[in-house]
Structure 1
Amino acid sequence: MAEVKVFGARLSPFSGRVEMALKLKGVEYEFIEEDLSNKSKLLLQYNPVHKKIPVLLHNGKPVAESLVILEYIDETWEHGPSLLPKHPYDRATARFWARFVDEKCLPAFWKACWTTGEEQVKGKEEAEEVLKFLDNQLEGKKFFGGENIGLVDIAANFIAYWLPLITELVGIELITSEKFPNLCAWIDKYVNSSFVKERLPDRDKLAEHISTQFLKSSAAK
C-alpha cells in the first residue's frame, strides 16, 4: 500500500485543503503536525524552496503547494469523487478560480482584516470586489463545480470557515447576505455538509489561535 504523509498544521486552511481532498478520495495518510515557529528539518528538506506547509509525501516523494497537491491527489487516486471536471474547458475554469482565491482574494482579505485607516478601507473595497466575482460565479449553482464539492470549493475553504470568524474577531463586516447572497448560500451549504462539518477545526481552538497569533501581533505594530 502506498505510504502517504501530510506535513501540516491542523488549524491551517491550506493543510485543511489537502486533508479534505484525501478524505474525499478515501486515501489513508499519516498527519505530521508542524510547529510553524520551529519548522522540522524534514519539512525544510521536502520543501526547500518555500519552506512552508503543507507538503504531501507519497512513497517518499514530496509535493508542495496546496493547489498543486490537490491536483496531484485527483490525478493519482482515481477512485472516489473527482475534484476536477472531465471537460478540458471546465478543468481550466476550475483552475482559474482556485488560483483567483489565492492570488486575488487572500491578499485583499489580509488588507481588510489586518491593516488600519485608509489602507483598511482600500482593503475592504478590494475584498468586496473579489467577493462579488465569486458571488457571480455561484449564480444558480449549489457549489462552484455544480452539484458536488470540487477543487474550487476546497480551495475556498478559508472563505467559508476562517474568514467569517476572523472578521468577527477583528470587528469588521465583510460577507453579508445582502451584498453576496449566492456566496452566503454556498458557505451555509459547504460548512454544514456532513462530510465537511466533521473535518473542520474546532471553532474555539481556531478563535484562540487567531487571537494569539494574529490579533496580538497586529496590536504590537
Structure 2
Amino acid sequence: MNEELYLVAYKDIEQKEIDEALWLKAMSHAGGDKTKAKWAYIELRVDQLLRDPSLRHSANKKVRKPTHQSGAYMMWFSILFFFTIISAAVVVDVKELTLVFSNGLYVLDAWSLIFVLPASIFFGISATSWRTYLRCWTYTFGSAKRVTIIDARAVARCLNVMGLVSLKMGVIGTLLIVIFMFHDLDNWKIKVTMAVITLVYGVVFKLIAYVVEQRVLNHYVH
C-alpha cells in the first residue's frame, strides 16, 4: 500500500500538481535545494496521505490491468468489422456479384493521407506530450499494468485531439481542393475524387480515434 502512495507523490511532481503548502515545507527542510526538496516532498506527501484516509482514497485511485481482455478484443473486432464493411463496399460488384480488387486503388491517395494523418499526430503531441502519445499504444492494447487516472485521461485527451484534428484536416483538405478545382476545371473529376477521399480519411481516422479513446476511458477511468 505504501508503495502506491510513493507513486502518487511522485506523480504529483511529474504532473506538476503538487500541494503548494507541502512544497514550501519541503523547500524549507531542504534549505532551498529543489532536488532535495522533491524527495522531501514525497516523504511529506506520503505521510499526509497516510494520516488522511479520505485524501488517500481520492489521490491514490489506481486502476489495474483487468484479468480479461474482452474489451480489447471487442475494440479491435469493431475496427476490423468497420474496415471489412468499407472494403466490401469498395471491391464488391453488386450487379455481377464479383470482387473487383482494382477498385481499391480508387480510394488510395498518398496526398490525402499525408495531409490528414501527420497533422493529427503532431497536434495530439502538442496538446499533451510525446510520452502521452506513446502511451496511446500501450494503454490501447491494455499492456500497461498500472496507471494513474491522470495519465489515462491525458491519453484519452490525446486521442480526442487527434480525432478532432483528423476530421478538421479532412474538411480543410476537401475545401482547398474544391477551391483549386474552381480555379482550374481541367481534370475536375480527379480533383473531386481527391476531395472526397481526403474527407473520408478524416472521418475514418476520427472514428478510429473515438473508439480507442472510449476504450481507454472504459478500461482505466470509468
> TM-score higher than 0.5 here?
no
Provide the TM-score with structure 2 as the length reference.
0.26
Provide the TM-score with structure 1 as the length reference.
0.26
Structure number, greater radius of gyration: 2
Higher relative contact order (CA 8 A, sep 6+): 2
